[in-house]
Structure 1
């Protein structure tokens, strides 16, 4: 079956390049043309370097023609999240304080992506310092949802998810502290994985031993998430939390048989968070899919009450630790919500952090016991569908007032506080055509199993095949 080059999967493109069916230059040119066509509408890719990308594409083709050994991503274009360092490109983190900052070394995830042969063509837009699940900043502006340009693309990996769903790049790197891979994946009908802490090692990282912020893939399907994890996962001594298993484990055959799997689900986390009815209905509808796949499905949810304090305290602590020096120099040009969160970190006492760690201990062992009974927990990714892009965040959900810019993100950050792997996979659309996703949470370090469940669900539903209309055009095909 033929498809446009820019909507081919990363694996299809990689194979086509390495078998000389298509050149790296043709692949990069097709994606650059798609960027020119769609990016003006959505503002997903920033700091684009077309000339540099084409030079590297020609070099990739020469290397292949010479018979040199090449990496699995050879010739594939990618744009790096603007919070991640990539030599040759600014790393503004969406802040005026860093608008002219050019790093002198690649971040570890970028180092691995480049070593695998990918061509960095630009950066993807983020909220300031990746704080918040709505992508806007004073450097580059707002990233809009291609399914409805009046709506948010989510965040903080909003530019990454939009670029992937629109065919501007075949896959993207993301990061996730409170849901930053999962929200934009859900809001843009793509796949986003929050891996287990240490699965994808992070360097440099100020909070060296904190498991809160992780990095992971954003792709158009789950098979490409496996493919990307095979490169970006694996141990590295620069990251003391890194898991001592190679990324190659994600190349193992996928057994798509879920028969007998024990699935727990909850549309509202056991009644402790507000969720819009359209989101609840969507999640309930997906439970029949799992039943039809032979799973035992039961409504159940562990008590996650402590997750609120754990996340709020440790997030504020990590933000203050990471950005204190910049804050002291540039406070007057930073967004109010970031200022609030950093000052919250400065107000913390040792006893506050100690209490959060005690609560996390209780939470971890309660979740561990829960997964002795169940193989997976299915939850909504977001408590609301994509909201108005002119708002910073939803101020009310199902009649419940949101007190600050992250209150509405509990459906993701409760899982961040626990540390279990979680996958956002497309689960359909609202009545007005806005994408939704379900969140598949697995036991401790069972990243492969979470992806396998998502893969099987994806194959049974095909929700993720629907691309935004503004990105569609019939040309540039490979077979």
Structure 2
């Protein structure tokens, strides 16, 4: 047994204790809902409180447990769902006031997968307008705060998810990522995540009126944000259950074959035209040393040009957004989000139709380059951003702010354009805030990425525990 409060426990430990009969799902969910209601008033991470329904569901699961055992590997584990994904009977506003009355007719596949594994949804988390900013604020729900301090961004667009999980509102938070929306919030708050590769997790919203653009289909993925790497692994094994409504999903087992060791890791500190902050260099060096200590063979290399891949991917996505999404943004978006998109288009000029087709054809060239690198080095340790955590509204402060936050995120959105999985873990601190690095891996080998993240976490510790140590006793 432990004196640690229930709401601080990992999903893995909660699952073990529930399965052993040491604690009930109702006790777990009740304690977590109490924590959510105690701290969410300030953080504003959860914008749809489902605590009462969650406690009732936990009682039902306890009854089932007494008769036939756990319903799945996440039996009784509290989770949150990001508000841009359908959950039956709840609104899917995507951070937009005008969409507040869009009520989901059914659960999205990712919600089904988690709940059928026994997870219990305690609330829905905040996202910026149209889920297209590197911070989380909107006119519908307001700003989500970073649990480390009020100055810093909670990241975006899954900022509600990261703030919730790091402050103890459940050990697992659903999120998604089209250009960094799982990884920006995890880097901002010290959480851990892996952006799955294309085809790994199912994506579809039953409330949608039209299919998404092809680049959105290729670049956007569903995933989870957690406090501990082992919980990402636990939740992902359930999240990847096959759903035929996603034509891109491939039913591949989560755990791939063991590779002969020592595993070779490619390592780079290249941040291209953006100067790397000393804290980033330190975090990269520390992460490298952690991997070496864990038995990896780390080799500094020159990777295929991420600046070209990242800029190309962002300009291609901007072209698709301009063609397919801007009418909604102009009609329903705030003055602020419209101004931000105008800056996006100036900084990342959308490809015109002919050039867009040529660049999308060239995408396979970039993937081939990276596949060849990953064939030799199954893991690549890279920067994520060239500087530590940014202020909460920096991306709304003109073109300089956007470049400081998103424009420099070449290592982030390049991985979406390639469809390659990439994880985040913090390996250093700067000014009292976590500093993150990125770990890239082969497609369908998120398990190898998690192994590497775990090697760093084992030596540097779980960042959330530093937050919890500041709690009054």
TM-score scaled by length of structure 1: 0.88
Q: Which deviations, in whole Å up to 9, do the C-alpha atoms of 1:199-256 show, x marking residues without a partner?
A: 0021136236732111111111111111111111143221121122145x38x9xx8x
Residues 462, 470 of structure 1: alpha-carbon distance in 2 compared, 3 angstrom cutoff: closer
Residue 468 of structure 1 aligns to a residue whose secondary structure is helix
Corresponding residue of 1:383 = 386
Aligned residues: 464
Give distance in 2, aligned partners of 1:259 and 1:89.
Answer: 48
| Alpha-carbon distance in 2 for matches of 1:131, 1:401 | 15
Are residues 348 and 379 of structure 1, via their aligned partners in 2, closer, same or farther at CA, if it must alter by over 3 Å? closer
- Contact 1:96–1:333 (CA<8 Å) still a contact in 2? no
Query: Which residue of structure 2 lines up, in the alignment, with residue 422 of structure 1?
Result: 422
Q: Which string of whole-angstrom CA distances, capped at 9 and with x for unpartnered residues, describes residues 83-118 of structure 1?
A: 111113221111112122221111110111121122
* Alignment CA distance shift 1:223-1:258 (3 Å): farther
Which stretch shifts more, 274-283 or 434-443?
A: 274-283
Q: Which moved more, 1:415-424 or 1:368-377?
A: 368-377
* Match 1:232 to one of 239, 244, 254: 239
Q: Relative to structure 1, is the Cα distance of residues 356 and 273 closer, same or farther in structure 2, using a 3 angstrom cutoff?
A: farther
* Per-residue deviation, residues 125-151 of structure 1 (Å, max 9, x unmatched): 111111021111111111111111211
Q: 1:347: how far off?
A: 6.6
- The 3 A distance-change label for structure 1 pair 471 and 184 is farther
Counterpart in the other structure of 1:206:
212
Shift of 1:290: 2.1
| Equivalent-residue separation in structure 2 for 1:197 and 1:294 (angstroms) | 29
Whether 1:133 aligns to 2:140 is no
> 1:220 matched to which residue of 2?
227
1:12-31 mapped onto 2 (5 Å cutoff): 12-31=13-32
Distance in 2 (alpha carbons) for counterparts of 1:395 and 1:262? 42
Measure, in 1, the Cα distance between the counterparts of 2:104 and 2:344. 24
User: SS where residue 71 of structure 1 aligns?
Assistant: coil
2: CA distance between counterparts of 1:340 and 1:426? 33
Q: Secondary structure at the match of 2:80?
A: strand
Matching residue of 1:456? 455
Q: Whole-Å Cα distance in 1 between the matches of residues 120 and 462 of structure 2?
A: 29
Are the structure 2 counterparts of residues 115 and 394 from structure 1 closer, same or farther at C-alpha, using a change threshold of 3 Å? same
Within a 5 Å distance, the mapping from 1:260-339 to structure 2 comes to 260-269=262-271, 271-302=272-303, 303-320=305-322, 323=325, 326-327=328-329, 329-331=331-333, 335-337=337-339, 339=341
Task: Report the Cα offset of residue 341 of structure 1.
Answer: 7.7
Give 1:162 shift.
1.1
Alignment of 1:7-406 (within 5 A): 7-67=8-68, 70-204=71-205, 206-207=212-213, 210-247=217-254, 249=255, 260-269=262-271, 271-302=272-303, 303-320=305-322, 323=325, 326-327=328-329, 329-331=331-333, 335-337=337-339, 339-340=341-342, 348-392=351-395, 403=403, 406=406
* 279-288 or 2-11, which deviates more: 279-288
Structure 1 stretch 152-161 or stretch 452-461: which is displaced more?
452-461
1:37–1:323 Cα change, 3 Å: same
Moved more, 13-22 or 158-167: 13-22
Question: Structure 1's 293 and 212: CA in aligned 2 closer, same or farther, altered over 3 A?
Answer: same
Counterpart-to-counterpart distance in 2, 1:38 and 1:258 = 46
Mapped to 1, the partners of 2:101 and 2:365 lie a distance apart of 44
Contact 2:314/2:413 (<8 A) preserved: no
Residues 401, 70 of structure 1: CA spacing in aligned structure 2 closer, same or farther, 3 A cutoff?
closer
Q: Which moved more, 1:305-314 or 1:373-382?
A: 305-314
Is this contact kept in 2: 1:77–1:121, CA < 8 A? yes
Determine if contact 2:343/2:398 at 8 Å carries over to the other structure: no
Q: Which runs of 5+ in 2 are unaligned?
A: 206-210
Instruction: Give the 3-state SS of the residue equivalent to 1:79 in structure 2.
Output: strand
By how many angstroms is 1:390 displaced?
3.9
Report the CA distance shift for 1:308/1:96 in structure 2 as closer, same or farther (over 3 A). Answer: same
More divergent stretch after superposition (113-122 vs 286-295): 286-295
